[in-house]
Amino acid sequence: MKVLKTLLPLLFACAVSAHAALPVPPAPSVAARAWLLVDVNSGRALAENAPDSRIEPASLTKLMTAYLSFSAIKEGRLKLDQTLPVSEKAWKAEGSRMFLDPRNPAKVDDLLKGMIVQSGNDACITLAEGIAGTEDGFAAMMNQQAKHLGMTGSHFVNATGLPDPQHYTTARDLARLASAVIRDFPEFYKYYSLKEFTYGGITQPNRNRLLWTDPAVDGVKTGHTESAGYCLIASAKRDDRRLLSVVLGTASDNARASESQKLLNYGFQFYETVKLYRANQPVTKLRIYKGTSSELAAGFARDFYVTVPRGSAQRLKAQIISKQPMLAPISKGQAVATLRLTLDGQPVGDYALAALTEVSVSGLIRRAWDSLMLML
């Protein structure tokens, strides 16, 4: 079986900057234990330090609690106007609270805002019990979802982020989780831009300071315990670009905001992200043998973006790599080739191309003819 390599003209699905490329300086120094800056659309990491080291997530845990809550609403297992009982465990929750009253059931919509804006541990436990019956059962769901999202360095034991030796994650996993919240639940992500929320006559502000200082920032979550330090996941959208910074273990509330802003500014200033192909757009067509069709279109299931130094996108080169001969049957979504991108001769990345349609096995006559063609 031979590997076929073909050059491919890049099909830009949007305008590409014609400005001269800017030299990219080293990423700024960040006063934190670990950090990561990623472009949400392309998934490329633009700056990092210890992104895979195990850390205590503190209230950043609530992103997973939110993800499962949003999923329950989307699947009809929970409704925004539904009320949930407040257990004694939730009422007595330590740490930050939205001050739920065990005598008064709380609306799911209020619980979401209490969890996201006020970082209420009582809200998290109430949602967890409403979805899974117990917080322990909910933690099992959290770990299942983490596995599904590819969060290989994480383990959860509660819905709040209260310290526990077996409750941990990484900066890379948190970036993956926050990106999934933004991507999968745009209708709920808007909650993360709320600057304050009032419940029971008590108004509490969102602890994400960047919501006040940078109009491009629209989320996502702060976290703090004595052992975890001050943490912040921040996301900003400027034009069509969205960046996400994860800053963990800073020394103060001010520091987590300023260090996050530093990373976001760096990413926007020195990099650009372009959409090369639309979802389900044929990137290439491959020869197929012994199938109901002799040709197979391959591409991406989602819009495909790439992040490169600002001003350099026009110098990208693409190459298609596929194993030949390719025989039916081929399933829709099956990886059938690789798109290899280079910039000025340096590798950018290899990206799997999927079959955009299904190709079934052909009849006997077609198979016999193709067998003869392969022999020749």
Distance CA 220, CA 237 (A): 12
Kindly list the catalytic residues: 59, 62, 119
Q: Is the dihedral of CA 74, 78, 143, 105 positive or negative?
A: positive
Q: Which DSSP state fits 22?
A: P
Q: What φ, ψ does residue 223 adopt, rounded to 5°?
A: -155, 150
Give all strands (DSSP E) within the chain, no chain letters.
2-8, 34-39, 45-49, 83-84, 106-107, 196-199, 202-205, 217-225, 229-238, 241-250, 271-277, 284-289, 295-299, 304-309, 316-324, 326-327, 335-343, 346-355
Q: Is 79 annotated as a binding residue?
A: no
3-state secondary structure of 366: helix
DSSP 23-73: P-PPPPP-SSSEEEEEETTT--EEEEESTTS-B--GGGGHHHHHHHHHHHH
Amino acid, res. 55: I
CA 273 to chain centre: 16
Amino acid, res. 77: R
The pair of three-digit structure tokens given for residue 44, joined into one six-digit string? 């490329």
The label of the residue with tokens 């009253």 reads 101
Cite the annotated binding site by residue number. Answer: 221
* Residues contributing to the annotated binding site for substrate: 221
